[in-house]
């Protein structure tokens, strides 16, 4: 399983906050129902919380770096005010056609976080609302949960969850004892 702490890697838009397309206005940051309570439970259980987010709107020129930073600042401060702290936030600003190693479904952001923070990938999970999120998790050796998704067709996923409570219960019930 490897040395290091267990983590839950989290997609941001559509998983932690409402997906508004290419987010550029901090006033549109709204937590998904159950996300804050779920993250509190995971943190209390000893999981590091790490955000891994594709933000191609930056690379496409649709969202300025300053606007993206303002959205991230609001997101972090709103969650912190609710008692949730993130061990790391990793963002891929690249367009899909750039073929970078960090854009999900590639596992680059997860691998970087594991190295930077000291995460045991085999004891960790990914929660996201898209196929690319869970594929990145599988490629990194993590458990994977598809949450509130409209994705169709077969995919390699450990759980398709309809709520944050269901996702967190699954993680806490299946975690490897420390």
CATH number (domain holding residue 164): 3.40.50.1000
Residue 2 domain flag: no
The domain in which residue 76 lies consists of 7-174
What is the per-residue pLDDT for 1? 42
What would the pLDDT profile of 29-65 be if each residue is shown by its tens digit?
Answer: 999 999 999 999 999 999 999 999 999 999 999 999 9
In whole numbers, what is the pLDDT of the chain averaged over residues? Answer: 94
What 109-112 contacts at long range (C-beta under 8 Å, 24+ apart), as own/partner pairs, is: 109/9, 109/52, 109/136, 110/9, 110/50, 110/52, 110/136, 110/137, 110/140, 110/142, 111/140
Q: Report d(CA 11, CA 72) in Å as an integer.
A: 13
* CA–CA dist 147, 39 (Å, integer): 14
- Residue 1 counted as domain residue: no
132, pLDDT greater than 90:
yes
d(CA 163, CA 32): 10
> What CA–CA distance (Å, rounded) separates 149 from 146?
6
Q: Are 143 and 110 in contact (CB under 8 A)?
A: no
Q: Please answer whether residues 55 and 103 qualify as being in contact, where contact means their C-beta atoms are separated by less than 8 angstroms.
A: no
Residue with tokens 């269901």: 166
Residue 151 has pLDDT above 90, yes or no: no
Tally the domains of the chain.
Answer: 1
Per-residue pLDDT, averaged over 2-12, amounts to: 90
Specify the pLDDT at position 154: 79
Residue 74 located in a structural domain: yes
**Total-model pTM:** 0.95
What per-residue confidence (pLDDT) applies to 178? 52
Let me know if residue 69 belongs to a domain.
Answer: yes
CA separation for the pair 62, 99 (Å, rounded): 19
Q: Helix, strand, coil % (nearest 5) of the chain?
A: 40, 20, 40
Residue 112 within any structural domain of the chain: yes
Nearest alpha carbon to residue 125 among 15, 14, 13? 15
- Has residue 176 got a pLDDT over 70? no
């Amino acid at each position: 399983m490897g040395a290091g702490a267990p983590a839950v890697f989290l997609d941001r838009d559509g998983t932690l906050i409402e997906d508004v397309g290419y987010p550029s206005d901090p006033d549109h940051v709204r937590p998904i129902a159950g996300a804050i309570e779920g993250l509190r439970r995971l943190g209390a259980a000893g999981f590091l919380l790490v955000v891994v987010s594709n933000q191609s709107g930056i690379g496409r020129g649709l969202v300025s770096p300053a606007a993206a930073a303002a959205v991230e600042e609001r997101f972090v401060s709103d969650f912190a005010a609710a008692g949730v702290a993130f061990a790391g936030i990793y963002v891929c600003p690249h367009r899909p056609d750039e073929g970078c190693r960090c854009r999900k479904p590639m596992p680059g952001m997860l691998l970087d976080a594991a190295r930077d923070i000291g995460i045991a990938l085999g004891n960790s999970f990914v929660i996201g609302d898209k196929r690319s999120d869970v594929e990145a998790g599988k490629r990194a050796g993590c458990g994977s949960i598809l949450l509130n998704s409209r994705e169709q067709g077969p995919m390699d996923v450990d759980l398709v969850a309809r709520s944050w409570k269901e996702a967190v219960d699954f993680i806490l019930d299946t975690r490897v004892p420390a």
